[in-house]
A = this chain, B = another copy of it.
């Protein structure tokens, strides 16, 4: 029999802390004079007590070391259980959400997806808006820890190339996770504060600034109004663009910069590839807006920069409905959403390093079929890339595309049209936020979807956030054998 206590203990502990953080939205409601605050007291009590009881029950089985099996269960467990607790304020609160809507919204928060089923956001109590933003912020820091500790160790989808950069604590995963979380938290909090100040400087009020800082650094994309960033056109779009990019770079590099090693950051192949990709895409979109739509230069550049950055980083803020720009941007934005940012950041999707390795592999293949007797060694970031790594990256890519297909077909089965089904699957599995079409597009909302579609999307967000394989491994029969 599998001993689930070590996993239950960590989840219980996290839930207890999670419940305590519900006091922040409680104070936000009190501060703004909303009489909505008691629901956070209830939610907090339920969550903290349940978490504490779980931790106490499991405390007897705690060990310093987690097995591989337990590590997988922990990752999937955290992102399956926390959304249930996170949904409680939506169930009890002013949103009066159904179970599926509450869980969808909490999952969309904790996976940093940012698709929303709530409308008239402006009318929600401050506490609930803050809670949505906090879910994304917690999800963001959580995923950085997972990406820096668990995935390289578990060799998921080629993440093993970042192994040497992970913090070494002698194989003990939990102490390592705590150490990394501490380092990362300092940076994450610092950048969030900087972002908050910058938003204040360009005219957002205090509440808007803190909410958008929380959802920018987590590349989450929840906003405080239905218009998303449409309410903040102009300078705030530049601020958001800068911080969305900062949130998409490998956080380990910031730790190194703090330690005086800026060189590694500047030479990082992932960072360079990502910046050049953004540069190229912004140039193309800006040119298109000027030449095809007759837009004026600053406006074209600003909207191009903001929307390209928002989609490629997977943040998913919308400042305009780019579907009105013509066919080209729509198709382009669909595909750049499948690129994603750097590994080791809050970004999801396929990620830039996998494309770099895939592209290198394709060039090597082409060379090899041209010169069958030649020996071609592929390099990435100065290190040789072996066939095992390529097949690991490629399998990830394959499973990503296959999952995209399966989820699209399932969504189609619930009655969605082609663009909604395919873009809905993509936006969920890549944790972006908006899809395409009139329903779930940048100007739309996920509220009108049927419940089955919402459940499918909820599962897809979880699957995508944990790089698919972490979840799929649980479906291996041998996983459950001791």
Task: Digitize A402-424: 1 where CB-to-B-CB distance is under 8 Å, 0 elsewhere.
Answer: 10010011011111111111110
Interface 9-mer from A103-111, A302-310, A325-333 = A325-333
In the complex, chain A residues 419-443 whose Cβ is within 8 Å of any chain B Cβ: 419-423, 436
A432 to chain B minimum Cβ distance, whole angstroms, is 15
Do A362 and B417 form a contact, CB below 8 Å, given A328-B409, A335-B409, A387-B391?
no
A66 to chain B minimum Cβ distance, whole angstroms, is 13
Tell me, in angstroms, the Cα distance from A335 to B421 when the chains sit together: 12
A2 adjacent to chain B (CB < 8 Å):
no
A372 adjacent to chain B (CB < 8 Å):
yes
In the complex, chain A residues 324-382 whose Cβ is within 8 Å of any chain B Cβ: 326-332, 334-335, 338, 358-359, 361-372
**Taking each of A68, A327, A387, A472, which has the highest tally of chain B beta carbons within 10 Å of its own beta carbon?**
A327
Tell me, in angstroms, the Cα distance from A394 to B401 when the chains sit together: 12
A388 adjacent to chain B (CB < 8 Å):
yes
A311 adjacent to chain B (CB < 8 Å):
no
- Residues B394 and A334 in contact, CB atoms below 8 Å apart: no
Partner of A418, one of B359, B370, B409, B436: B436
A173 adjacent to chain B (CB < 8 Å):
no
Q: Which residues of chain B are within 8 angstroms of A69 by Cβ–Cβ distance?
A: 370
Task: Give the size of the chain A interface in residues (CB under 8 angstroms).
Answer: 69
Tell me, in angstroms, the Cα distance from A390 to B401 when the chains sit together: 16
Q: Which residues of chain B are within 8 angstroms of A361 by Cβ–Cβ distance?
A: 391, 394-395, 398
A392 adjacent to chain B (CB < 8 Å):
yes
- Residues B409 and A156 in contact, CB atoms below 8 Å apart: no
Interface 9-mer from A87-95, A230-238, A312-320, A473-481 = A473-481
- Residues A369 and B473 in contact, CB atoms below 8 Å apart: yes
- Residues B155 and A326 in contact, CB atoms below 8 Å apart: no
A469 adjacent to chain B (CB < 8 Å):
yes
Q: Which residues of chain B are within 8 angstroms of A138 by Cβ–Cβ distance?
A: none
A399 adjacent to chain B (CB < 8 Å):
yes
Tell me, in angstroms, the Cα distance from A419 to B416 when the chains sit together: 14
Do A370 and B479 form a contact, CB below 8 Å, given A327-B416, A361-B398, A415-B327?
yes
- Residues B330 and A405 in contact, CB atoms below 8 Å apart: no
A9 adjacent to chain B (CB < 8 Å):
no
- Residues B415 and A418 in contact, CB atoms below 8 Å apart: no
- Residues B418 and A473 in contact, CB atoms below 8 Å apart: no
Q: Which residues of chain B are within 8 angstroms of A363 by Cβ–Cβ distance?
A: 476
Query: Would you mind naming 10 contact pairs between A and B with Cβ atoms under 8 Å apart?
Result: A157-B365, A327-B416, A327-B420, A334-B422, A338-B405, A361-B391, A387-B388, A390-B395, A397-B397, A418-B436
Other A-B pairs beyond A68-B370, A331-B412, 9, CB < 8 Å: A326-B415, A327-B414, A328-B413, A331-B421, A335-B405, A358-B398, A362-B402, A369-B473, A391-B394
Where the two chains meet, the residues of A that have a C-beta atom closer than 8 Å to any C-beta of B are 68-69, 72, 154-157, 288, 326-332, 334-335, 338, 358-359, 361-372, 386-388, 390-392, 394-399, 401-402, 405, 408-409, 411-423, 436, 469, 472-473, 476, 478-479
